[in-house]
Amino acid sequence: MKNAYAYIRVSTVGQAEEGFSLDNQKNAIKEYCKIRGIHLVRFYEDEGRSGRTINRPEFQLLLDDVETRKDGDIDCVIIYKIDRFARNVADFTRICEEFKKRGISLISIMEGDLSGGTSLIPNIFASVAQWESEVNGQRTRDALMQKFKEGWQPTPPPLGYRSVGEKGEKKTCEPDPYTAPIIQELFHLYSTGGYSIIDLTEWLADKNIVSKKKGLPLGHSVIHTILKNHFYYGLIRWHGESKMGNHKPIIDKPLFDTCQYVLAKHRDFVTRKRKYEFLLRGFLFCGICGQRYTAEWHYHKRFVRHNGKLGYYHCQKRDKNGCSAPFVMVEDIERQADEAMKDIQFSDEFIKVVVEKTRKYLSSSRDTIQSKRQAIVNLRSGYEQRREKLENNLLDDVIDRETFKRKFTELNDKIQNCDAQLQELEARKQIDFDLIEEVLGFTKNIYLTYKEAPFFLKRHYIRFFFERLVVKNKQIIEVKVTPVFESLIRANQVITSKDWLPRLDSNQ
């Protein structure tokens, strides 16, 4: 009895539906071997792989096994059709010669024994296969370019979208009910500057957004690619061309641009975890040498009124590189920053715009929360159905207890995760309202809202107004305002007192 290896391949869903599915190829080869009394040692299956190259995992494994086999172990390699095996004449000819040297026949279900006689006929078949591949490739490229011209991204959509509609190149996409709101929130979180990509990786994992293959949290590069993807605000790109697509954007362009700014300045935005944090750390600069100030605590029992410690800001080059800038106490310099806030207020026109925008945000937030809630409920229902099916499989002895326990635990964890997300959404309603209250308060009375704000919000308020505060002789002598604040000043949307600060420098 002859022994045989069998190789099968399908490259697209379309081919599977045209009769070239792996199962169809496998059944035809099994039937062929059964009739001729050939013993099939094993199948090598490549799914979703092009035949233009031999760099296919299972195909390479087949060649390795052929090369390392013992004489007499394998008599032939059976394929369904030449174009399933190779669509490159040079590769096909070389592999056939290698098989012949080893006494192995290459048999095609559709074309017959390719090892007998001359190589003319097999090479003609291979040439036709290569020609068909080139023609089909060009047709596919043309179809994808036409799809792009019609306003649709030719490649599969990114995380947050799902494919819909017709098959192959004619498919379009729409926001996924579950993942789209999460991706949208991802951009909003990162735009604040308070989250690192590592933070977002953990945040996504808590919402069951993990890698499909291994179930692990998404990698750093995956999150980075998401944040850099223009597709989310509507832009599509193909072969050097770009245009606004027909798909529904998840975010707007300003939010995307903000995230690009944070990505470029991530070291300035995302602060390291420190044992002690100071309000103005990162904002103060020396007026003598230009070095950034740092801060530290000094401990001594004589500091009775200060519970045994005093905080100081100082130039990092003090006493090391000749800088003579003196230490300045934390409360003294932070009091000056407080006074700066006291003399700023927004115009009535600006307040009116903010109130209207806030009203729209609240309405949009309610709709978003309801949409997210429904998506999570649907996801949870799907997990419950899979859990019930798993229980039935155990009762019917379809799976063993170990497999049941492992998969049951996984599904239970996902269901509990959905429950946690539903609770989080309920809490979000209150958070949104608190945030709106904070924004309105800040708009109408900057100083009072700033003074009553928790530490982390104070730093956000400072970042909104100032890029740097220059200190000399323990006094803030200059400020560089942020581009946002500068634009508001130029548009007369901010009112400041005449002696707001010794000098306002927005172009430094």
Tell me if 464 sits within 8 A of 439, measured CB to CB. Answer: no
157 neighbors 247 (Cβ within 8 angstroms): yes
Lowest mean pLDDT among 139-143, 248-252, 372-376: 139-143
Assess whether pLDDT exceeds 80 at residue 123.
Answer: no
pLDDT band with cut points at 50, 70 and 90 for residue 187: very high
Mean pLDDT value across the chain: 79
The domain boundary, picked from 437, 462, 486, lies at: 437
Catalytic site residue 11? yes
Print burial letters for 397-409: b (CB count within 10 Å at least 16), e (below 16).
eeeeeeebeebbe
**Residue 212, phi then psi, degrees to nearest 5:** -70, -35
Catalytic residue among 11, 105, 133, 191: 11
Whether residue 476 is contained in a domain is answered as no
Higher pLDDT, 327 or 47: 327
Mean pLDDT of 247-261: 88
- Residue 51 pLDDT level (bands cut at 50, 70, 90): low
pLDDT of residue 130: 60
Nearest to 26 by CA among 15, 12, 40, 36: 40
CB 112 within 8 A of CB 74: no
Residue with tokens 């059944």: 27
150 inside domain? no
Report, as an integer, the average pLDDT of 2-15: 77
Phi, psi of 434 (to 5 degrees): -65, -40
List Cβ neighbours of 441 (8 Å cut-off, separation of 6 or more): 448, 449
193 and 135 in a single domain? The answer is: no
Residue 211: CATH number of its domain: 3.90.1750.20
The alpha carbon of 488 is separated from its chain's Cα centroid by a whole number of angstroms, namely 33
* Domain assignment of residue 479, yes or no: no
CA pair distance 289, 399, nearest whole angstrom: 72
Biggest CA–CA distance in the chain, Å, is: 103
Mean pLDDT along residues 469-487: 86
Number of helical (H) and strand (E) elements in the chain, helices listed first? 17, 17
| 13: pLDDT strictly greater than 50 | no
- Return the pLDDT at 508: 42
Q: Reduce the secondary structure of 157-171 to three states and give it as a string.
A: CCCCEEEEECCHHHE
CB atoms near residue 366 (< 10 Å) = 12
**Per the structure, how many domains does the chain have?**
3
Co-location of 34 and 99 in the same domain: yes
Instruction: Count Cα neighbours of 179 within 13 Å in the Cβ-side half-sphere.
Output: 16
Last residue of one domain, picked from the residues 419, 437, 455: 437
How many CB atoms are located within 10 Å of the residue 99 CB?
19
Q: Which H or E run includes 310?
A: strand 309-315
131 pLDDT exceeds 90? no
Task: Give the domain CATH number at 97.
Answer: 3.40.50.1390
Final residue in a domain of this structure, among 437, 469, 498: 437
pLDDT (tens digit, 9 = 90+) per residue, 142-156?
A: 777 888 888 888 888
Residue 146 lies in a domain: no
Banded model confidence at residue 29, pLDDT cuts 50, 70, 90: very high
H-type alpha helices, 445-504 = 446-452, 455-465, 483-490
Q: Are residues 123 and 226 located together in one domain of the fold?
A: no
> Which residues make Cβ contacts (< 8 Å) with residue 60, sequence separation at least 6?
54
8 Å CB contact between 439 and 354: yes
Backbone angles phi, psi at 118, to 5 degrees: -80, 170
Q: Which residue has the higher pLDDT, 140 or 74?
A: 74
Does residue 81 fall inside a structural domain? yes
In the predicted structure, residue 266 carries a pLDDT above the cut 80? no
Q: Is residue 264 part of a domain?
A: yes
Same domain, 122 and 178: no
In this structure, are 115 and 55 located in the same domain? yes
Beta bridge partners of 242: 237
Q: Tell me which of 4 and 100 has the higher pLDDT.
A: 4
Q: What is the predicted pLDDT for the residue at 232? A: 94
Verify that 109 and 199 share a domain, yes or no: no
Range of the domain at 131: 3-139
Check pLDDT > 80 for residue 198: yes
pLDDT above 90: residue 231? yes
How far apart CA 216 and CA 40 sit, in angstroms, is: 37
Stretch 330-359: mean pLDDT: 82
